Amino acid sequence: MGLKFRLTIMNFLQFFIWGSWLITIGGYWFQNKGWTGTDFGAIFSTMGIASLFMPAIAGIIADRWINAEKLLGIFHLAGAVTLFIIPQIKTPSGMFWIMLINMIFYMPTIALTITVSYASMKKAGMDVVKEYPPIRVFGTIGFIVAMWTISLFHIETSALQFYVASGAALILGLYAFTLPKIDVNKNIEKKSFVSSLGLDAFALFKNKKMAIFFIFSMLLGASLQLTNAYGDTFLHDFAKIPAFKDLLAIKYPAIIMSISQMSETLFILTIPFFLKRFGIKKVMLISMFAWVLRFALFGWGNPADGLWMIILSCIVYGMAFDFFNISGSLFVETQSDPKIRASAQGLFMMMTNGFGAILGSWSSGIIIDNFFKSDSGDFHWKGIWMTFAVYSLIVALLFAVLFKHKHDPKAMENFNH
């Protein structure tokens, strides 16, 4: 079995696990359990909490003590156990703690799969820049296949989705031990604990432009998971209306939502053109206004004559997600001192997937429970989505005014070389 194929399997399973429940847990939570939005916001914040510290800690362990592929296997086996336990949980608080443990094991594996891929490809003399992207795209394909699997088997609101994820985690956990050995660096330079966690990069906040950038990264990061959290249960809720209950979009909501991930794979190919033509600030603004459109289309759409709006919203998602994450990481790469470049990238991820995700998850749950939920437990979805749209619009307008950055095409050319 060739290395590329082995790494492709790893990436496919890595994101199949996540895709088995991330989009559909909202359907399980609201349609099956009937628990509150505030508690659900706490559940979704576990990704952000784990992202604050676990990737850095796992990186230290993989660098110094345990081979990356073995650590990947250990984490996935532990994740398989926690996912298997979830259906037995009877309370929101119990769900929070077991999901937090699951995220503590899962979130660092995203970086570990990259480490295993890069190191093994370099050892084999492969061109990482050229040959890794086609391997990584199978991660997104794995996510989509998982969503389709859960939807076609009609287990979007069932606890069975967690058993599917647990089975995939068990397979990948065992498979990881067969991957190429990634040596630890026993002669690694000793650093302080602060440096090891990448906290040196917080010095970038002394630079006004970088401080503004990171603050807006957090504010927009609050929007990144909202449709993942609520999109599936939003479509499921239309089943309560007789005119909608037999429509395909209601029977297979996760398949409709998977258009977002398909769009993601396509828009990533357009980024070099947009960056060269418009520059990082404008590309990030395009992303921010795309988020406004993403939410507004959900607010005005429905599964019948408004299905085109929901589908268009899913297509827009690719631009909204990719343009912010990738152009943002490129901005950090071009603006940071090479000595702390890796730490700066970690800080960017911490602000978006850590603090931003926590902010978005907690606040959205509280807002929904207090302002957009009737006494009978029904959600006012149009108000929910339009509130998210207005928030994203305010963030975009403030970013346009406060973030000062001139586009320098030569800087991008130098980066590419």
Architecture per CATH, domain 200-417, reads as: Up-down Bundle (1.20)
Mean pLDDT (whole number) for 148-152: 97
Sorted by sequence, the CB contacts under 8 Å of residue 398 that are 6+ apart come out as 216
Q: What's the rounded mean pLDDT across residues 345-354?
A: 85
Average pLDDT, the chain: 90
| Residue found by looking up tokens 């009609």 in the block | 154
% of the chain residues with pLDDT over 70: 92
> Using CA atoms, how far apart are residues 349 and 227, in angstroms rounded to an integer?
19
Rg of the Cα atoms in the chain:
21
Q: Please tell me the predicted confidence (pLDDT) of residue 192.
A: 61
pLDDT digits (tens, 9 = 90+) for 233-290: 999 999 999 989 889 999 999 999 999 999 988 898 888 888 888 888 899 999 999 9
Nearest to 292 by CA among 174, 371, 398: 398
For the domain covering 1-181, report its CATH number.
Answer: 1.20.1250.20
* 289-300: pLDDT as tens digits: 999 999 999 999
Q: What is the largest CA-CA distance in the chain?
A: 67
* DSSP 8-state secondary structure symbol assigned to residue 377: S
Q: Work out the pLDDT band at 382, boundaries 50, 70, 90.
A: very high
**pLDDT at residue 417 above 60?**
no
Boundaries of every domain in the chain: 1-181, 200-417
pLDDT (average), residues 339-351:
76
CB atoms inside a 10 Å sphere around CB 2: 8
- Average pLDDT (336-355) is 78
CB–CB of 230/26 below 8 Å? yes
- Whole-number pLDDT of residue 92: 97
> Exposed e or buried b for every residue in 295-315, given b needs 16+ CB within 10 A?
bbbbbebbbeeeeebbbebbb
pLDDT of residue 268: 84
Cα 355 from Cα 225, distance rounded (Å): 12
The pLDDT assigned to 406 comes to 73
Is residue 80's pLDDT more than 60? yes
- Give residues with Cβ within 8 angstroms of 1, minimum separation 6: none
